[in-house]
Structure 1
Amino acid sequence: MAGIHFQFEDFKQLLRLNIGIADRLDENRAESFTILYCDLSEVEDEKITRALQKILRTSDTIANHETDYFFVLPYTDKYGADIVKKLFDKFFNKFLNSFLISYPVDGESGDELTEILQTSVKHFCKKDLDYLDLLK
């Protein structure tokens, strides 16, 4: 298994796509997908590659900006995404700086989700994600 890796420049479009699919297929508007942000700055590239191949499903998507990784996990609520995060922690043998947000619970659009993610990561993880503002 392995997630599909996208260019970081396509991250907001990836969110729009997942929102469109969720709106079309998820009638009860539950937590349709969750975004898991992880700071992997203290992890070697080779180990990251192995973890992505081992832990993620083929339906999961990845976009990264340097060592900041964003995982879009379809049909996964925060509880399920937290399990994925704990699998990464165990694989890397360290507690990763991370945060979770879900659609539509935490935001109704890609812009809302990225704004909430930026604010939350800045507050809880002490990490600035202002580069998300540059995406179309």
Structure 2
Amino acid sequence: MAGVKFPFKDIISLLTLSIGLAKRVDENRAESMTVLYCNFADFSQGLISVSLEQILRSSDAILSYENHYFFILQYTDKYGATIVKDMFEEFFASYIESSMVSYPIDGEDSYTLLEELQTNISKNFSTDLLFLDRDRLDA
């Protein structure tokens, strides 16, 4: 198993697609898609690659910006995303800075979800993900 890697510049398009799929198949509007953020700054690229291969499903999207990894987990609520995060922490035997947002509870569109994620990360960690600002994503 392994997730599918996408260029970070496609994050808005991929989130928009994921939200569209969630709307189409989930009429109850339950938490049907979660974005999990993990800061893998303390780990080598080789070790990160092995963890992605072992932990993620083939339906999971992977986007990264330097050491910042974003996983779009289809048909996964926050409980399920927490399990994925815990699997990464077990794999690395280390605490990982992480946060998550779910559609539609935390936002109805791509930009709102990323703004909420950015707010959560800057509030809980000393990390400010300025590259998630709407102006920079649209550039």
* Structure 1 length-normalised TM: 0.98
Residue in 2 aligned with 1:109? 109
Task: Give ranges in structure 1 of 5+ residues lacking alignment.
Answer: none
Amino acid at match of 1:91: F
- TM alignment of 1:1-136, pairs within 5 A: 1-133=1-133, 134-136=136-138
- Aligned to 1:102, the other structure's residue is in SS state strand
How many aligned positions are there? 136
What is the rounded CA distance, in whole Å, between the counterparts of 1:127 and 1:117 in structure 2? 12
* Runs of 4+ that moved beyond 2 A: none
AA aligned opposite 1:2: A
Gaps of 5+ in 2: none
What secondary structure, in the 3-state scheme, does the structure 1 residue paired with 2:105 have? coil
Cα displacement string for residues 71-103 of structure 1 (whole angstroms, at most 9, x for unaligned residues): 000000000000000000000110100001100
Shift of 1:56: 0.1
- Mapped to 2, the partners of 1:126 and 1:37 lie a distance apart of 14
Deviation at 1:135, TM superposition (A): 1.0
Q: CA deviation at 1:32?
A: 1.0
How far, CA to CA, are the matches of 1:126 and 1:74 in structure 2?
Answer: 28
Partners in 2 of 1:49 and 1:112 — Cα distance? 29
Percent identity for Structure 1 against Structure 2? 49
In 1, Cα distance between equivalents of 2:115 and 2:27:
25
Residue type matched to 1:38 in 2? C
2: distance between equivalents of 1:117 and 1:104?
Answer: 13
State the superposition RMSD in angstroms. Answer: 0.6
Contact 1:38 1:68 in 2 (8 A): yes
Q: Give TM-score scaled by structure 2 length.
A: 0.96
- The residue type paired with residue 17 of structure 2 is L
Q: SS at 2:117's partner residue?
A: helix
Aligned mates of 2:15, 2:53 — CA distance in 1: 22
Question: Residues 80-136 of structure 1, C-alpha deviation per residue, up to 9 Å, x if partnerless?
Answer: 000000000000110100001100000000010011111110001221111112113
